[in-house]
Structure 1
């Protein structure tokens, strides 16, 4: 199946291979991070949560500056050195004793992670023609789902053994994936750095239409936490559905993204078409929320059936919204500042991830059906505003023709 996911040639295929290596380590570490911190390093859950929150805040605050750094130095240089730095920084977790050293290491890791993320998207924009960027980005997301799943499977084996030496070996493996990713980046052509221009360095912070897009896209991206965080609690506390349905839903979502993301992303490379895709995705997500609302108090078999139907509507919305988000992020950004614009775009999703667990859980689990109805209306309203953002952006003095028609 992986061979079908690879773009046909050139830099796009190399980017995909790099993504496979990098995200396999991510999938492994996402499943083990909390357990390693608490069971091996001896941190309390509260200390672990504080460390994760601090790292997320650092990554968020530095997204725009590190993206600007990728523009000025060249994204390949920044990606190589950020991944090379992530290798020993990850391995440093083997030597950590106590909360403060853990907090320091994870915060510095977040700096390198932020730089790598901004550089990766700037490099994609620099190496791929505008009409192919969303298409290639969709390939990267499909392969990410495959490799993260493989990493999670390896994590399952580590958890089954449940031994500190094996957990430490997993840390070493994750550190190695970062180093290998940095070395593989040498296979990519260099993207020329952008020279300094008159005016403010961080021009994206003065681009109001783009910042409005980032804010709305971040709110809309909160739906990504529905299946991982909200729905398991909903199933356990508010429905009669069997618990295993949560695993079935997550599996269905992963398979659907792998099979459909590339196909759905076609035709969303311009801001206008991307905005329409984002709007359509938000309507599917709203429909999913309405279906989930109907599962409260229903018999187990009916609840399970409705949950699966809602998950199908959700994943259709997810893949359309993702494609729309990428198309607008690339299409609304000037070519000379793709790094800082893509770094800023990532801030929206970061904010969404920070807000979503508490807000969406409060709406669904605490308020039940009414909470789901509020979510449905909210997601639909946010998505419906995206075409207006494109129209606003088209009025900018530097707007491109592609952004002009909605």
Structure 2
């Protein structure tokens, strides 16, 4: 059989900056069947899918080599005996014995790539109900129980303070605002603590503090006790999100961003179940029912913490030389945090702006409020993991931000057109807008997962993710008032402004990502130079 000419770039050309780093693998025995297999993949699934499968196969294999078999460069070349050319010489010998790592990688991986690609092709991608590893399942179970409790509070927490604790609505709003701003700084500090002293214990402690503070709601019968317990609960929640980040990075496998997307889908399921229980509480409406809801919320947090006992501890990574609060001095990362915070206002469109718009500006039936929430939740649960799968680099994350901004703009325009038209037309426009908005939400969330993890140094994951959470925290505190002022008080022109804000933020994100990548590369180069100097 005559070997057909196959370009080496089919397998190893991606990302090679020097032509000398590319290797012609066409004479190798495995190349012809690999090329035929690739043609079959393209015929069955299309060229884009085949390219993604090949890319994933390379990434899996290289990660496996890095983790288990990498030795000094000379040792790699010395052990290259299996892949041979027709002459009987190894590929390394064919290259004149030059010790090039790309050559060594190419010759070692050339037989494994077709097999891995075939494995990826064996079944169409289906989101898993359970993660692969035990630690991931523990984290997912803990998150599931936690979000059931959160669903209880998110749905009926404000009503508890106004209906059962009999606090004025103005005082409740003021107290929640104070708690939101206080919790912003805690995420950075506790994230740094998790980096230095172990994330599992710190995260479990935040859950216990949140449980105690939540149980204290039943004693909050006046303004200042209410402020005290709600600040403690909100601060512990923000701290827990930052403290959990090193655990996600450590146990999330090769792509912790995809595991983070899985946890978000689990979060939506848990919150939906909690909302069902909260609906019963609101329907009954008694003080006892509300107090049972609060106690149930606290118990969920305790169970969530208890599940972490079976999670292996994570040894903190050693500190590197440099300032202690490095995340606050990483200006490109701070810019991305700001842009993500502006984009995060979109989460309040579905929960604040659309319900008020349906009631006050459209003829659509009021039950559509529940319909829009359910539609968004189902889409996120079904497609968040899939949406995150192809956003596998900071550059892809920046592009996803841009797509999300355009989707939010289109959704805002559709929502604005739903006022003053017949009920059936308004309902149709609103459901369509929610679908488009939720697609943008999938892209936005996946982009945030990617850039926040990929651009954070491993030894400071908690601190960096604590900083990144500042944007979402500010959106949580300021977003509802901004949307009410623009979209409800001002009306239709306000939707245009909000949509344009999202679109412009999305257009700016790829530029910020490129700046952050350049900054990260410069920092890594500086660290390598410093390390070599210290060894010398």
TM-score, scaled to structure 2: 0.71
Q: Which residue of 2 aligns with 1:323?
A: 446
1:372 to 485, 492, 495: 495
1:162 aligns with 2:285: yes
Q: Aligned equivalents of 1:240 and 1:110: distance in 2?
A: 37
2:312 to 189, 210, 230: 189
1:334 aligns with 2:457: yes
Contact residue 327 and residue 333 of structure 2 kept, 8 A: yes
Change (3 A) 1:295 1:110: closer
Q: Aligned equivalents of 2:500 and 2:280: distance in 1?
A: 42
Q: Which residue of 1 aligns with 2:141?
A: 17
Q: Which residue of 2 aligns with 1:284?
A: 407
RMSD: 1.7
Contact residue 74 and residue 194 of structure 1 kept, 8 A: no
Name which of structure 1's ranges 258-267 and 210-219 shifts more when overlaid on structure 2.
Answer: 258-267
Listed as ranges, the matches of 1:4-403 within 5 Å are: 4-129=128-253, 131-396=254-519, 397-398=522-523
Name which of structure 1's ranges 143-152 and 262-271 shifts more when overlaid on structure 2.
Answer: 262-271
Change (3 A) 1:387 1:304: same
Q: How many residues align?
A: 397
TM superposition shift of 1:153: 0.4
TM-score, scaled to structure 1: 0.93
Q: Aligned equivalents of 1:301 and 1:97: distance in 2?
A: 45
Q: Which runs of 5+ in 1 are unaligned?
A: 401-406
Name which of structure 1's ranges 235-244 and 274-283 shifts more when overlaid on structure 2.
Answer: 235-244
Deviations 1:38-59 (A, max 9, x none): 2222221122112211211111
Q: Aligned equivalents of 1:157 and 1:45: distance in 2?
A: 22
Q: Aligned equivalents of 1:237 and 1:159: distance in 2?
A: 23
Q: Aligned equivalents of 2:433 and 2:167: distance in 1?
A: 38
TM superposition shift of 1:109: 2.5
Q: Aligned equivalents of 2:238 and 2:429: distance in 1?
A: 39
Q: Helix, strand or coil for the counterpart of 1:395?
A: helix
Q: Aligned equivalents of 2:514 and 2:272: distance in 1?
A: 39
Q: Aligned equivalents of 2:227 and 2:485: distance in 1?
A: 29
Q: Aligned equivalents of 1:159 and 1:367: distance in 2?
A: 31
Change (3 A) 1:277 1:53: same
Name which of structure 1's ranges 211-220 and 386-395 shifts more when overlaid on structure 2.
Answer: 386-395
Q: Which runs of 5+ in 2 are unaligned?
A: 1-126, 526-536
Contact residue 164 and residue 286 of structure 2 kept, 8 A: no
Deviations 1:238-282 (A, max 9, x none): 222222222211111111111111111102232111111121111
